[in-house]
Structure formats: C-alpha cells, structure tokens
Amino acid sequence: MGRSNAADSPEQWRAEKKKLHRKLILPNLCILLISLIAAISLVSGPFLQITVPLNADTVETLVNLAGSDADPNAANDSAEVLIYIAKDIDTQIQISVAFDDIVAAGVTDGEAGLRQLLDHSLADLPDVADSVSEQIMPALLSIAAVQLAENVSLADIDTDSFNDTIALLGNQDLEGARTEFESAVEIFADEQLNIELSEDDRASIMDIYDKVIDTMTVDGEFSFSNLFPALQTLINEFGKNQSENTNDPSDSSDPSDSSATSVTDEPAPIEPAAPFASAVQTDAERAGETDSPASVNSEYERILKIMEHPSTLVDEMDGETLQIVLTVCKGMAYFLIACAGLWAILAIFALLHILLPNKKVGMWYVKLTGLLPFLLFFALPTLALQVAPSVIPSMPALPPLAFGGITYVSALCLLALWIVSVFWCHPIKKKISICSANMRNARR
C-alpha cells in the first residue's frame, strides 16, 4: 500500500511507536526472568566453594612447606614417615560459603555470625577427619613392624595386608580384628619387609597394637575419630629413651647369673630404626624440653574440638585478628548485597516498563557489574593459581585448589542478558528512535 501524506503525520508515527513498544513486552519478560534468576542465585546458594584434594601429593606438599625452616636431617626423616602414613589418603575438603552466613558474620551478628559461618562452611570436616583416619590406619598399624626393618624404602611398601583388619575394626569386631592383625603382620613382615619376626618382636608389636586400639576405643566402642591420641601412643612407644630399652645400668649383677635375670610378662620394648627414631621426636624433645602428657592431651583435645566444631577457631583468634576477619566478611557481604541488589532493581524496572507506556529498559549498571562475582570468586583465583608459580619462581608449591560456587549462574544470566539486549531489544529500540525522529520531523 502506497504511503500518503497522512502516513507521515505525527499520529501515524505515534501509533507505529506504540506498536514497537508493545514488541518489547516479551523481551522485557525475559529480562525480568533472567534478573530474578541471577539475584536469587547470588543470595541462595554457596557463592564460594573451595575444594582441597586431600591425598598423598597434598600431604607431601604441606609437609615440605612445614619442614622448609626445620632442621634438614630431622625434617627429612619426619617427612618420610608422615608421607608414608598418608600414602593411602584419598578424599577432599570442601569449603562452602553461603550468602546468609557471610551477611550474618559481616553485617548482622558479628562474632556469633562468624561462628555460624565456620560451622556451616566446614560442615563436612568431621566426616573428612573420620575418612582420613580410616584411610591411614593400615599404614599407621604397619609402623609397628616397619620400624624394625633397616634400609627399607617406605615408598615401595604396600599395606593392603591390613585392610581386613580395618574393616573388622569398623564393624566393631575388635577380637576378630586383633586375630586378623596378628596374622596379617606376619605376612606383611615377610612379603614387604623381608624380615622374620621373633617372639619378642611379635609380642611387642601386639602390645603396641593393643595400646593403639585401646586408645581409640571409648566406652567399648571403637572410633576412627580418636586417631590423634593413638598417634601420641605410637610416638610414646617409638620415642622411648634408650635407657628404657635396657636394664637399669645401676644393676651390676652378672648377666650370666640366671638368678639375677629379671622375669617379666611385659614384652621387650622395640628400639626404633631410622628414620623412625628421629621422626617421632618433637621439636621440644630435640631441644631437650619434652612436653608434659597433660599439655599433649590438651593439644589433642583442642584439635579434636576444632574438627568437631570449627566455630571454636574463633576462640583461637586474638582481638585484632578477629576484627580483620569480621571486616573482610563485612566487605564481602556488602559487595554481594550490591550485586544481587542491582539484578533485583533491573527485575523491578523490567516489570514496571511492561506496565508503563515506555517499555525501554536501561541495563547498563548490570552489564558493568554482573560479571564481578564470577570474576572475584572463581575466575581470578583460578587464574592466579595457574599464573603465580611462573610469575613468582620462589613461590612454594601449593595444594591444587579448585574454586567453584553458584556465581556461574549470574555469569550465564549476564550472557543471556547481552544476547537479549543486542539481538532482540536493540533492533526494536533503534526503530523506536527512528519513529521518534520522524515524529519530530512531521511536526515541523
């Protein structure tokens, strides 16, 4: 149909403009939906997740970091033993930080909110501790025999012989586990260590086994969570002073005199072979200052309490550290509130413009800030871990952390918003601008 002068009238252009505005209703509905999804995702799910793989490689990295400033000889022995004990570990620690927890710590509840944040973020720590304890038990129990062997490569030792013992312990069959261990340690010593156990060796090994299991059994129930006291039991056994491994030097009786021979039901203590002799010593013992049993037990109780209730880490902080942590939480909380708030504002504006005659929605503020949560909590930390070692050669190796979280949802929403804006809204808005220009020209 040909265009007449009436078609060029302001009224005609106004009608065309209204028609074009109505075409923006559907993309505005899409903008509303996208904005709501992005805003809800930022305030509902864990915006930050850090997964720490806990395995032999991770333990070796941490041991090397911890031993970098220690005495080299002692550190090497200790590292070798710790890496051996941890060789079968295969699990992961996941730290999940949610919006409501960070807001509670940074804005509303202060210290109480920080305790809530730690308990929720490290909620799986007790289960991880139990899993690790179960996984290192074969190597831990094998130490009683391994320390008898000279010139043995710990890296080549296989402790699968003790898996059945661990399974029986987990099923609370303590008598069956003891019988199984007694048989397994013979096979282990023959196949892995190439040694033959004497009667004294067997008795001493079983004595150590009984002490370890007794330490991990509370009220008749065995629990892998009691691993730390059991470790101290092993240290006490292997770290005995040489004077405890021999008869009293003040005893001048003739060794050939059978009447002077001391008869006891206790098995002869095992003298640990290298590297266990030095590895079981603490720094205080090397300095000639052995901690009292009370202080050692107190330390283990503290560690176990933290694993069971991570919020007790707050009690370990001094006032200045606590304030720094709370300030960081406050900054993160306000940042997330701002980002989620901008998405919510866009959703409100999209809804309003669906109802108003002018249906054009401005989105520039979300386009500028919508990617920030994803960048700060996922992309940049991941990139930093990849780039930092090459940029800073002296930087020590770190465990391979994996960052995650639900911020990828808002990033995808931003991508969808750009697509709707560029390929749907922009052509319509461009036509609306042309109509507005024609209206002004028609009035002249």
pLDDT digit string (tens) for 226-261?
A: 887 777 666 666 555 333 444 444 444 444 444 443
Reply yes or no on whether the pLDDT at 306 is more than 90: no
Question: Quick one: pLDDT at residue 76?
Answer: 57
Higher-pLDDT residue of 219 and 343 is 343
Reply yes or no on whether the pLDDT at 279 is more than 60: no
Confidence of residue 63 (pLDDT cuts 50, 70, 90): confident
Sequence-distant (≥ 6) Cβ neighbours of residue 382 within 8 angstroms: 402, 403
Is residue 352 domain-shared with residue 425, that is, in the same domain?
yes
Is residue 219 domain-shared with residue 286, that is, in the same domain?
yes
Reply yes or no on whether the pLDDT at 395 is more than 80: no
Is residue 170 domain-shared with residue 238, that is, in the same domain?
yes
Q: Of the residues 278, 296, 312, which one is the last residue of a structural domain?
A: 312
Region 258-277: mean pLDDT is: 45
Question: Quick one: pLDDT at residue 355?
Answer: 93
Region 271-289: mean pLDDT is: 46
Sequence-distant (≥ 6) Cβ neighbours of residue 329 within 8 angstroms: 102, 105, 106, 113, 114, 117
The length of the chain is: 444
Tell me which residue has tokens 């949610």: 98
Question: Based on the structure, what is the number of domains in the chain?
Answer: 2
Confidence of residue 297 (pLDDT cuts 50, 70, 90): low
Residue 99 lies in a domain: no
Is residue 146 domain-shared with residue 17, that is, in the same domain?
no
- Extract the tokens encoding 106: 């940074």
Reply yes or no on whether the pLDDT at 267 is more than 50: no
Asked if 27 contacts 425 with a C-beta cutoff of 8 angstroms, the reply is yes
Q: Report if pTM > 0.95.
A: no
Residue 299 lies in a domain: yes
Sequence-distant (≥ 6) Cβ neighbours of residue 197 within 8 angstroms: 145, 148, 185, 186, 189, 205
Higher-pLDDT residue of 324 and 286 is 324
Question: Quick one: pLDDT at residue 17?
Answer: 85
Reply yes or no on whether the pLDDT at 296 is more than 70: no
Is residue 328 domain-shared with residue 298, that is, in the same domain?
no
Q: Rounded to the nearest 10 degrees, how much is the dihedral formed by the CA atoms of 217, 222, 226, 227?
A: 110
Residue 118 lies in a domain: no
Asked if 408 contacts 46 with a C-beta cutoff of 8 angstroms, the reply is no
Note down the domain range covering 387: 6-45+320-443
Region 26-45: mean pLDDT is: 96
Region 75-95: mean pLDDT is: 80
CA pair distance 74, 63, nearest whole angstrom: 12
Q: Which helix (H) or strand (E) holds 379?
A: none
Q: Of the residues 254, 284, 312, which one is the last residue of a structural domain?
A: 312
- Per-residue pLDDT of 373-389, as tens digits, reads 999 999 999 999 888 87
Asked if 339 contacts 376 with a C-beta cutoff of 8 angstroms, the reply is no
Higher-pLDDT residue of 98 and 296 is 98
Residue 110 lies in a domain: no
Region 247-276: mean pLDDT is: 44
- Extract the tokens encoding 112: 């109480």
Is residue 72 domain-shared with residue 199, that is, in the same domain?
yes
Question: Quick one: pLDDT at residue 184?
Answer: 94
Is residue 86 domain-shared with residue 167, that is, in the same domain?
yes
Confidence of residue 82 (pLDDT cuts 50, 70, 90): confident
Residue 407 lies in a domain: yes
- Per-residue pLDDT of 111-140, as tens digits, reads 999 999 999 999 988 888 888 888 989 988
Confidence of residue 225 (pLDDT cuts 50, 70, 90): confident
Phi, psi of 46 (to 5 degrees): -70, 115
Question: Quick one: pLDDT at residue 129?
Answer: 84
- Per-residue pLDDT of 352-379, as tens digits, reads 999 999 999 999 999 999 999 999 999 9
Is residue 269 domain-shared with residue 298, that is, in the same domain?
yes
Residue 424 lies in a domain: yes
Residue 366 lies in a domain: yes
Is residue 349 domain-shared with residue 370, that is, in the same domain?
yes
User: Quick one: what percent of the chain has pLDDT higher than 90?
Assistant: 47
Confidence of residue 150 (pLDDT cuts 50, 70, 90): confident
Contacts by residues 424-428 (CB-CB < 8 Å, ≥ 24 positions apart): 424/27, 424/30, 425/24, 425/27, 425/31, 425/360, 425/361, 428/20, 428/23, 428/24, 428/27
CA pair distance 80, 60, nearest whole angstrom: 9
Q: Which amino acid is at 374?
A: F
Is residue 72 domain-shared with residue 141, that is, in the same domain?
yes
Question: Quick one: pLDDT at residue 299?
Answer: 61
Residue 207 lies in a domain: yes
Is residue 327 domain-shared with residue 284, that is, in the same domain?
no
